[in-house]
Chain A
Amino acid sequence: MGGLVLLSLVLVTVSFREDGSGPLASVQNGAAAVLRPFQVAADRVAEPFRDAYGWTSSLLDARSDAARLEKENELLRQQVAERRIAQRENVTLRKLLAYRSGPRFPEAYSGLAAAVISRPAGAYAQAIVIAAGREDGVRNDDPVVTQDGLVGKVSRVSSRTARVTLLTDDASAASALDVETQAFGIVRSGDGARAPLRLDRVPKEARVAVDDTIVTSGWSSPRLSSLYPRGIRIGRVTSVGRTDTDLYTQVQVTPFADLSSLEAVLVLIPVNRGVGTP
């Protein structure tokens, strides 16, 4: 036994010192080559059993794998959804920024971007809640717009949030004019989804045509000014109707701003009003 242990130690020492390139390594390589067919044969014989074992163990692991993958999938879906929302918000905010620094943005106003945190709960609640309030300089009756057009006005303010009544609310009204014909009227909520807005009080003799653009007709004097500044886009005329019995022309308008899927808006804050002004 001692001899065998000694022989093993000698083999270990020599083999370790040779490091794969010596006479002993050559003998080892030759012996390995001789033994190789036996290894291959054993491997071939064992392969079906190994496959069977792998298949069985994979079946045993399948349940836990499925649960883990389901959890991972759920997490990834959530991440994808969050990413899409973030991308969409990014696009919206970029458009708002472009509008704020563009030529169409009304003078004498600064634009406060605010995320929409609550949307209309139903047909009778045409209002949204935005994530900006008194502490951000928002006050009642401040106009609210997007890069597409007028949205409504602030109707209630708390310290960090504000309620915005949409143009489609029955209580909303904005003096407006047809850009092409300069015909005046008042934009109010319409009769339904096909015509969310109508241009009211347009005299019969005034000329209004389909596809005309309607904008706010705001005015200002040294001491007073209208609620909405002049020139903010409201919508496009979709139909014009006149009857002998009506006093006014019936004009239906589709708003430029998609009021059903607002994500971020700009609150127009007069430049000459400080944050602390009530």
Chain B
Amino acid sequence: MSVALRIAPLVFVAAVVQVTVLGGARMLWAEPDLLLVTIVCVALAAGSIPGAAAGFAGGLLVDVMTLGTLGTTSIVLTLAGYWAGRYGETTGRGRRYAAPLAAFAISILAGFGAVALHFLLGEPVAARDALVTAVPSAILAAVLAFGVSRITGEIFEPPRGLERPRQVELV
């Protein structure tokens, strides 16, 4: 199955759940962002380009479903997916806590990025809200990333027999 076909349902479900169930929810000052965590985990598992594409598609879905300005969420999630993918392809490769770490850092950056973007568009945004919720939301994103990364790990696991060689013999 192609990468796109594996990513699409995951991103779609995450976007619908994010808009319908988690939109506006708040748990101890934290606002859960399942879509961002999913994009980060997908990007870590599949790479930067699939990550950016997943971010773009997921963001577009959110903007469509919320009838917001098209592209605002897309641009943030595209960058988030790309950065997470690059991290997975470079220093994060094979690291056990790559997903929670990336989710934590990108959650903070994405939060401030979204505020800046809305501010540039002239929409009423309160920087204080972003500041108050940034760290708790990032912690929650890191916690969510543990679970989501397991799912993405299962989905993007290489086929049996094509496993990456663990030892290299030098001749």
Contact = CB atoms under 8 A, between A and B. Distances in A.
A7 B70 contact: no
A42 interface: yes
Which applies to chain A's interface (DSSP): helix, strand, loop or mixed? Answer: helix
Contact of A1 (B16, B20, B71, B78): B78
B21 A46 contact: yes
B59 interface: yes
B21 A50 contact: yes
Query: Which among A4, A7, A31, A43 has the greatest number of chain B C-beta atoms within 10 A?
Result: A4
A193 interface: no
Nearest to B73: A8
B90 to A, nearest CB: 15
Interface stretch (B49-57, B107-115, B138-146, B158-166): B49-57
Interface string B1-27: 000000000001000110111000000
A39 B15 CA distance: 10
A31 B63 CA distance: 10
A42 B49 contact: no
A28 B70 contact: yes
B36 interface: no
Nearest to A17: B69
A41 to B, nearest CB: 8
Interface residues of A, number: 26
Contacts of A31: 64
Contacts of B48: 1
B16 A12 contact: no
B75 A5 contact: yes
A12 B75 contact: yes
B21 A8 contact: no
A163 to B, nearest CB: 62
B67 A28 contact: yes
Nearest to A32: B64
A15 B82 contact: no
A4 B78 contact: yes
A42 B20 contact: yes
Nearest to B28: A57
Nearest to A42: B20
B69 A35 contact: no
A10 interface: yes
A269 B56 CA distance: 92
A48 to B, nearest CB: 11
Contacts of B78: 1, 4-5, 8
B121 interface: yes
B47 to A, nearest CB: 11
A11 B70 contact: yes
B134 interface: no
A49 B32 CA distance: 15
Contacts of A28: 63-64, 67, 70
A197 B121 CA distance: 87
A229 to B, nearest CB: 73
B21 A1 contact: no
A38 B69 CA distance: 21
Interface of B: 12, 16-17, 19-21, 48-49, 52-53, 55-56, 59-61, 63-65, 67, 69-72, 74-75, 78-79, 82, 117, 121
Please list the 3 inter-chain residue pairs (A to B) with the smallest Cβ-Cβ separation, ordered nearest first. A11-B71, A12-B71, A8-B75
Given A4-B52, A8-B75, A11-B74, 8 more contacts: A1-B52, A7-B74, A9-B75, A11-B60, A12-B69, A43-B21, A46-B20, A49-B21
Interface of A: 1, 4-5, 7-16, 24, 28-29, 31-32, 35, 38-39, 42-43, 46, 49-50
14 contacts: A1-B82, A5-B75, A8-B56, A8-B71, A9-B75, A10-B71, A12-B69, A15-B63, A16-B121, A31-B64, A35-B16, A39-B65, A42-B21, A50-B21
